[in-house]
Amino acid sequence: MAVGAPVQIGCGDADWNKPALTMQDQVKILLVDDSPENLVSLEATLSGLGQDLVLANSGKEALRHLLQEDFAVILLDVKMPEMDGFETAELIRSRKRSRHTPILFLTAYKSDEHLFRGYDLGAVDFLFKPIIPEVLRSKVSVFVELTRNNVLLQKQAEVLIKAERKFRSLLEAAPDAMAVLDQDGRIEVVNKQVEKVFGYDRQDLLGRSMEILVPFFREGYGIGTSAAGKEGPGAHNGASLDLRGIRKDGSEFPVEITVSPLDTEEGRVVTAAIRDVTEQKQAVKDIRDLNAKLELRVAERTAELLESVEMLRQTNDDLNQFVYAASHDLQEPLRLVALYSQIIQERHAAQLDDQAKKYLGFVLNGALRMETLLKDLLQYSQLGAIKDGPPGPVPCGDVMRQVLLNLQASIEQNKAQVSWNGLPTLEAHETRLLQLFQNLVGNAIKYRREDPPNIHVDAERRFGDWLFSIRDNGIGIKPEYAQQVFGIFKRLHGNKYPGTGIGLAICQRIVESYGGRIWLDSMPGEGSTFYFTFPHRDGSMLAD
């Protein structure tokens, strides 16, 4: 049922067979969003309230739910295909059953036009994405409690219908200030809450206009006006108005007032429920103030994080420049060491004994390994320092064919079999993708068992990204080392296999530069599967 709906007394369309909810019963909350992720997020945020959450992924589905069920509040996304949130709200408001159901619009756009249109359609509030969970729960919980209180009032009204003799006792038991009025708006009966809230003795109020307690009451409900003469009192039945109450001492305070008509043998009377909403108004104000403070804190924190990211980026650039310069400058003296070691080895071999030749071989091999290591290090640092221009469409199938050409000698020597299924076209840099696939396929050939290497490359399109896999039948590694292999200079097999231990670090850096991630699934003797993700754009497609 809608929050703020009046207590129905004697109305023809009331469902008296439907039992009223108690304060402990769940209320229904309708969540409407075309994005499954947003629905899951809303459901997770509100699940702690312990209420019945109903999900709809379109405006049409929401309307189908409203044909069968009543809701305490509707969380309605503005931007949806086919029927947007405003169109959905207009249809909701056109139905009597849901005319007063509170609607909270969810939107990512802070537009005056959206706000005006939303409030014209009866929105009680807007929540701007990204939505703060605490604020969302606080606002929804207010409507949950209002619904429960309203259901309690309806239950009391139903008891009044079934047992007219208990009317006055039930009126006295009502938690809000209650007044029974004639069709002209004059007070006939009040309960003790009226005395408590307004400070009058009830005898002083009988026969007087309701406007002594609530000014503009006649204007708000059309009671006692010419319109009331045509439609009768209670023509505005169902509207909960926010007005100002006046106590006997002249002090004003906010009230929410709802009227319900009752046809009796003596004529029509109107029951008015008056609720002091001072605390509620203050709570709403506190929530808004808290929301504003939270938004300010988020903005400040975001600025701090952006500043930290910029500092890290600058530090990373400086480090890359240092590594590039150091690696480049170290290559020249290493070339001299290797060159003169070779000259000594070639020209003076006859003058050297076996031990000297052995030591000279160590020097020459060490210099050559260091030169290779520096080249790989230069390559690693350049991934973050050199700008390759904007990415463009790169067919991964073409990249794999180039990989086979580059590794042809190794493939033939090891009798390797390399295959792939339909691979997509990615928005990337061709040289980086070539380096990525060549390193992974080359590793699969290098770390082989006695059987010829069998390598298969596959790609699966998922929501938001592509999942690539490179599967081999090689020696595999222990699961506890699956993360270490991506560290720079990390080599699990010592010098048994050639290489510098930078190849997988380069692969990780390439994948992460495009917003993806890379990992390994392997067991010793059972082969390895390298996985990496790559965000897909609207233009991503399957190639070959």
pLDDT tens across 386-405, in order? Answer: 456 788 899 999 999 999 99
- pTM check: above 0.75: no
pLDDT 10s digits, 276-296: 888 888 888 889 888 988 888
Q: Identify the pLDDT of residue 506.
A: 83
**Cα dist from 78 to 81, 207, 297, whole Å:** 10, 49, 26
Q: What are phi and psi of 347, to 5 degrees?
A: -90, -30
Q: What confidence category does residue 4 fall into, taking pLDDT thresholds of 50, 70 and 90?
A: very low
For residues 226-255, give the mean pLDDT.
68
For residues 144 and 164, the answer to whether their CB atoms sit within 8 Å is: no
Share of the chain above pLDDT 90, in %: 13
For residues 447-462, give the mean pLDDT.
90
The class of domain 391-544 in CATH terms is alpha beta
Q: Which of 111-125, 139-153, 255-269, 300-314 has the highest mean pLDDT?
A: 139-153
Residue 270 neighbours by CB distance under 10 Å? 24
CATH topology of domain 284-386: Helix Hairpins (1.10.287)
Domain ranges of the chain: 28-159, 164-276, 284-386, 391-544
Domains 164-276 and 391-544 share a fold: no
Q: What confidence category does residue 495 fall into, taking pLDDT thresholds of 50, 70 and 90?
A: low
Report the sign of the C-alpha dihedral through residues 186, 189, 191, 196, in that order.
positive
Q: Identify the pLDDT of residue 324.
A: 57
CATH topology of domain 28-159: Rossmann fold (3.40.50)
> At 324, is the secondary structure helix, strand, or coil?
helix
- Could you give the CA distance from residue 232 to residue 252 in angstroms, rounded to a whole number? 29
For residues 362-383, give the mean pLDDT.
61
For residue 374, give both structure tokens.
Answer: 């520096």
The answer, yes or no, to whether residue 1 has pLDDT greater than 60, is no
- Could you give the CA distance from residue 274 to residue 240 in angstroms, rounded to a whole number? 10
The verdict on domain 164-276 having CATH code 3.30.450.20 is yes
Share of the chain above pLDDT 70, in %: 76
